[in-house]
Each structure stands twice: as structure tokens, then as C-alpha cells.
A = this chain, B = another copy of it.
Amino acid sequence: MVGVSEGPAGFQAIRETNLGIVLRTIREQAPCSRALVAGATGLTKATVSSIVADLIGRGLVRETGQQAERKVGRPGVMLTLDHQTLAAIGLEINVDYVSIVAVDLLEQELLTEHVEFDARAAGPEACARRLRDALLEVIGDPLMRRRALLGVSVAVPGLIDSASGTVTNAPNLDWHGFALRDRLSALLADAGHPGLALLVDNDANLGAIAEYRGGHLARTPDLVYITGEVGIGAGLLMDGRLLRGSGGFAGELGHIPLLKDGPACGCGRRGCLEALAGVDAVLRRALPDVLAPERTASIDVGAMVDLTVQRAEAGDPTVLEALEDAGTWLGRGAATLVNLLNPRAVVFGGYFVPLAPWLLPPCRAVLGAHVFAADSGGCRVDASALGLSAAARGGAMALVDALDTGALPLPPSRSAA
């Protein structure tokens, strides 16, 4: 790692870059001494000392009681990330729920909430207000009250223009061109929280980050995370980096055309994977005595998934056939993805997790049959262990990560506040 100690950029820019570099070094090496940071970065000890003082002032770094092992000289004081003063909050809004996860700087979970909410029926403005209320509640929680907020991320099932925080197209929410970041920012300012850093991203992308950083296959360099909600999306981590494509629209696995003249999809097309194996489609085929065959009104997805699991465990042939069929289509979708990207792991999340005992066996069989490379190209197919909070958690983690890279402003110094 090379510190930036000279160059054409202004002093302030250099200082901020160096703050990020020192912060990252402490994150990776903690507990570590100032001397180690100087050695690893190439910065002078005086510069490191000044930057560390700054980072301590901002609540990002703290000194530990532990002393560096040194053979000679004064015992060194060790540095580590300060996990007690700051928090990052990730929200997810999906068709039938809002999820909230708060983490500290070590990405440890501070609290998790899951609230059922009919987002589609509510419409975008009521959804933005629901997100604001959820956020204010978390900020007011005793566990959070002493912490300053690093920022807030919002996961949305749809195409996002992340530069502006606008949801371009989220058919399952019926949002089209909704400037979510601006709206939520204004609502929070009115509620006494102006200037909060807000990021908006696709739910599958953020779920993939959570899976890569904290799932049971964490650090698998080529990993695909597939959301299992009413919609299906894929977060593609290739070589540990999110593959977003030229316009940020990569990973739309739910809308690959799998069956000519197939069933109608929420996007207006026919035969998309989502229309064949999305959770809404699966439930309507599994529970014909309870649900209408075509999407009309919203359904209580969580309760219907529970009922489907119950009936599957009891051996209900209609349910088993619907799950077998959906697993087969998921297998064709996964085979397509694996033929194109050759990942090491495909992880199914969301409501696919409770349905996995029935979906994954046919899915794996089709994958094995339709991947050109032997042994599915070495790809493992699993259910996620993260549940419905994956995207919210990944968003909170992404905020912590963004601190190092300058993508997120550093929190102000507490002495100045």
C-alpha cells in the first residue's frame, strides 16, 4: 500500500485520501501500532500520528489498552476501529416488507427489524414515509441513541440510477422513475435529520455483498446471490467485485426469456424466469384453493410460504409438483448463468430459503445436465443463511466499506460538533 504524500492534488484532497488509507490499514491490521501503519503505508510517523488523532476525533479509531510487543523502547499503544461511537443503517423495501439492519464499524449487527408492509398497495410516497418512520424508530432506539450515523442505504427490487438515487423501474412495486433518495432526504430533513448520507442500490447487489462478507460461503471470489421475493434478481460478484454492467443494469436474471409465449410477467413480457419461478408465481401454482391463478391483489407472502412449507412437508402433491416445476426453471436459469459466468457458488436467498428443500434438488439436477463444463464448472448451489435481512445488511456493510474509498464523507470530528 502506498500513501499519497505529494502530487498535484490539493492539500485537503491528499489529507482525505490519506485518512482513507490509514483507516483501511487499521481495519485490516488491527490491533496495530502507529509505527506499523507508517511502515505499511509509506507515510511518515508524524503524518500517521496526526491522521490517527483526526480519526480518533471522528469516532472511527480508538486506542486499546493492549500494548504492542516490543523488545526495546517505550511500549506502543495499539489502535483498532472504534465500534462504539458510529453506526450504519441499511433498509430494504420489498413488495411485502421493510427490513432494517444497523451495524457498527466492525460490521457487527446492532439491531435487526422486519416489518410486514404492503408496499405495492401503498404507492411510492407512502413507502418513502414508511422508510422514514422505520429509520426514525431505529435512530431513537436505546441501542442507537449514543451513536452518530454514518449513513443510510436503501435496497430496492428494481433498476436503480445510483448516481441520482432514482428508482428507474421496479415493476413489482409499480415504481417508475421515482426519485427515492431526494424524497427520503427531504422527509428526513423535515424530521430534524438534514444532510444524512443516503445510498440507493439494487436489492440483489446488496444481498450479494452481505453474502460475500458474512454468508456461509463468505469470500468466495466468484459468487452469485439470487433474490427470492416476488421478483428474482442476481447480484454478481466476479473476482470479489460487483459486476454492474455499463449502465448499472446487470444481474436481471428474473427477466431472461426462458419460455416462448410463457406466463405473463410483472414487467409486461411473457416467459421471464420470474413469471415461471418467482415466489408469487410459485405460491399461486402451489395453493390454487387459496390464491387466484393470476396476480390481482397483493398476497401475504410470508404466511403463504409458511402454508406451502406445511403442505409440502405433509406431501401435498399439488404443492410438490409446483415446487418441482419451479426448481426445474430455476435450474434452467442457473444453468444459463453458470454457462455464461462460471461462478464458484450460486446462493439462493429470500423466500427461496424456506422452500429450498424442495426447490434445490431439481435445480441442481438441471444445472448438472445443462452446464457445458463438467461438474457444473465446479459451481456449488446453496440456500443462503442470511434470511430476509440480507439486502439491508449488505447495504449497511457497503456504507462501512465506502468510508475507506472516499465514496462516503467521513463523519465530522466530535470535538467540533
Binding site for B on A (CB under 8 A): 2, 159, 168-169, 221-222, 234, 236, 238, 243-257, 259-260, 267, 269, 332, 335-337, 339-344, 369-374, 377-379
Contact = CB atoms under 8 A, between A and B. Distances in A.
Contacts of A371: 252, 255
A372 B257 contact: no
Contacts of A332: 257
Taking each of A243, A257, A369, which has the highest tally of chain B beta carbons within 10 Å of its own beta carbon? Answer: A257
A211 to B, nearest CB: 15
Nearest to A256: B336
A364 to B, nearest CB: 15
Contacts of A379: 246
B372 A267 contact: yes
Contacts of A159: 372-373
Nearest to A269: B370
B221 A255 contact: no
A257 B340 contact: no
A252 B341 CA distance: 8
A252 B343 contact: no
Contacts of A370: 255, 257, 269
Contact of A246 (B221, B243, B248, B257): B221
23 contacts: A221-B246, A222-B245, A222-B246, A243-B243, A246-B342, A246-B343, A247-B373, A247-B377, A248-B342, A249-B372, A249-B373, A250-B342, A251-B340, A252-B342, A252-B372, A253-B339, A255-B372, A257-B332, A257-B335, A257-B370, A259-B260, A336-B340, A340-B341
Contacts of A234: 340
Contacts of A378: 246-247
A245 B342 contact: yes
List the 6 closest A-B pairs by CB distance, nearest first. A245-B342, A255-B372, A249-B373, A252-B339, A246-B344, A222-B246
Given A243-B341, A249-B377, A252-B373, 16 more contacts: A159-B373, A243-B243, A244-B342, A245-B341, A245-B342, A245-B377, A250-B340, A252-B340, A252-B371, A252-B372, A253-B339, A253-B340, A256-B340, A257-B336, A336-B336, A336-B340
Nearest to A332: B257
A260 B267 CA distance: 23
A336 B256 CA distance: 5
A243 B238 contact: yes
A361 to B, nearest CB: 18
A69 B305 CA distance: 75
Nearest to A2: B2
A246 to B, nearest CB: 4
Contact of A374 (B169, B251, B372): B169
A339 B232 CA distance: 12
Contacts of A255: 339, 370-372
A35 to B, nearest CB: 19
Nearest to A339: B252
Taking each of A243, A267, A340, which has the highest tally of chain B beta carbons within 10 Å of its own beta carbon? Answer: A340
A247 B246 CA distance: 24
A22 B317 CA distance: 69
B340 A340 contact: yes
Nearest to A366: B257
A240 to B, nearest CB: 11
